[in-house]
Chain A
Amino acid sequence: MMVARSLVLIVALAACAAPKPQHTIPVALLVDGDRAGVGSLPKDAVSGLELRPVELAAPTTSAPDPSAATIAHARGMYAGGDFDACRGELAKVDITHLLATRDRALAARALVLDTACAWGALDKSSAGATAARIASYGLELPDLAVSPDVERVIGEALAAAGKAPRAALVVTGEIGARLTVDGREAGCALPCTIDLAPGDHVLAVDADGFQPAVQTVRSPDAAKVSIAQQPASAELAARQWRARIGRGQPATDVIGAALLGRLAKESRVALVHGDKQLTGALVVDGKLVASARGERGEGPEIVRELAYDGGLLRRPSIWQRPWFWIATTTAVAVVAGVVIAVTYEPDKHTRLVVP
């Protein structure tokens, strides 16, 4: 009897033991929102997983563009009549970069000033070419005092550009990438076809998960251009992911999941967002594979559910879960109690008596 009971106990204990993987699975863990509501998530919070916390780098403020100062300096030279020095200073300004970063006003200021300096230096052909760039880019003229001759040269370039026929250009690259032309929204996502005035143009593309790319084209020389983009670095992916959240876009849609996969530098990323409720998502190889919800403080439970739903861990069979045995034992006890209550007949103590 004792041996039988021991065997039953051993079998029950073995049955209750949930399967444990032999090796822990590394999972990058990104906690955002109300961290206090998520609760503690040490690296071994979930059996079978090794949680590796990921911290998003704080957003950095980019260094101020020196172009504005350079242009101001060149304007001083122009006012002082030192036209060659003015042109030399303006040569330092990267017009393509200004247009790629959508600073059309500064680009217009630099080109108008460059036109004036070239005209002042008696280099009329250069002045004309620069004015043609202004016209080609479609820049709005700045409130900048230049000589009437310069205004005329620019006006003639604008007029010529307005009369010239526009040519179509097919732009391809990363599907869905946002396209700007000469610092203005093209109004379409790649691949798309745009109409361009003759002359030079700056095409810039921007897509989440990729490095921005810039390419200059000359219309109508090219009818088709393909702009390649390099994958975003982890830091850039983090900035892009944060920017998407800021724009109110989903954190774990297709693009969000891809960014999470890239920013964490792990193939498996668990995201837990703390709020009134907790939400979680598991991204594997840049794809969302599981999502879960829970109450505040249930961070480990959410990560465990994600691991089960995402196939990282094998969910214990129903009979390997404690609540199953609790429920079964309770049910058996209730049934036994009911059976006893219904069928029990107390042993009567009968006496035969003389009435």
Chain B
Amino acid sequence: MRNTLLALFVLVGCSPQHDVGILLGPDKDTLTQGFRCYRDNPPTELMFQRSVVGNLVKFSLVIDLITIDDGFPGCRGEELVQACLETGACKIYTAQGRYCQDITVPLSEIDLSNPAAVIHYIGATLRAQDPIIADDPPDVPTVIRAVASLQTCAEIAASPDYPLLDADSALGCAYSCPALLDQVNGTISLSLDSLSTHCEQLVRACAGFPRAPI
């Protein structure tokens, strides 16, 4: 009898921990196109090239949870726009703060033209600084978005548009399909739905989401 009560207590009182890993690309060794877009002008320059300041590469990486209060749209941009921009049902989740890491790298240590090197460096940096992106997020359909920005974390926090990000400062952006994170097993991949490497405007729209692009 006592064992039964104990088991019942454990069953009711405990909630099992469930870790969902975020991949900045289709797999852990591949960087998403959203972080490898070329600028519109000059078209031969990577957007990430703007992060080079002297001998350093300086940018911030923001990972947001965008909750969708009503409905469960698909992955395509058109569906997300319809579900979020036209209804206001999508909000950047900031109840637990926001995951933002300032990253500064000597230019000599990173080759921005080598996506594998970039993703490994970003991953190692994030793991070293704070591997937990969100703890017990809400049980609603959620889009995970990662934005690399020229804004520092302090500037982002102080922005009058907080929690919206400055689209002009974006260096790269990727997002996941809407998902109930409690039901995701293993990892969830972020990507940018672009058919071209010249995708600056998509990155800007992604970073400014859920604000309509100007």
Contact = CB atoms under 8 A, between A and B. Distances in A.
A350 B20 contact: yes
Contacts of B20: 350-353
Interface string A323-355: 000000000000000000000101111111111
A74 B127 CA distance: 138
Interface of A: 344, 346-355
B155 interface: no
Given A352-B137, A353-B21, A354-B133, A346 B182 contact: no
A352 B17 contact: no
B132 A349 contact: no
A219 to B, nearest CB: 89
B69 interface: no
A352 B18 contact: no
6 contacts: A350-B137, A354-B22, A354-B123, A354-B126, A354-B133, A355-B187
Contacts of B17: 348-349, 351
Contacts of A352: 20-22, 63, 65, 132-134, 137, 144, 181
Contacts of A344: 11
Contact of B22 (A346, A348, A350, A353): A353
A346 B21 contact: no
A74 B198 CA distance: 155
B18 A355 contact: no
B63 to A, nearest CB: 8
Decide if the interface of chain A is mainly helix, strand, loop or mixed: loop
Contacts of B65: 352
A353 B23 contact: no
Given A344-B11, A346-B14, A351 B22 contact: no
A349 B133 contact: no
A215 B126 CA distance: 127
A355 B134 contact: no
B124 to A, nearest CB: 9
B193 interface: no
Contacts of A348: 15-18, 182
Contact of B127 (A346, A349, A350, A354): A354
B18 A351 contact: yes
Nearest to B134: A352
B135 interface: yes
A350 B136 contact: yes
Given A350-B20, A350-B181, A354-B131, 5 more contacts: A346-B14, A348-B17, A350-B184, A351-B18, A355-B22
Given A352-B132, A352-B137, A352-B144, A347 B19 contact: no
A245 B127 CA distance: 99
B131 A353 contact: yes
A355 B11 CA distance: 28
A349 B13 CA distance: 12
A344 B7 CA distance: 14
Contacts of A350: 18-20, 136-137, 181-182, 184
Nearest to A337: B8
B28 interface: yes
B135 A351 contact: yes
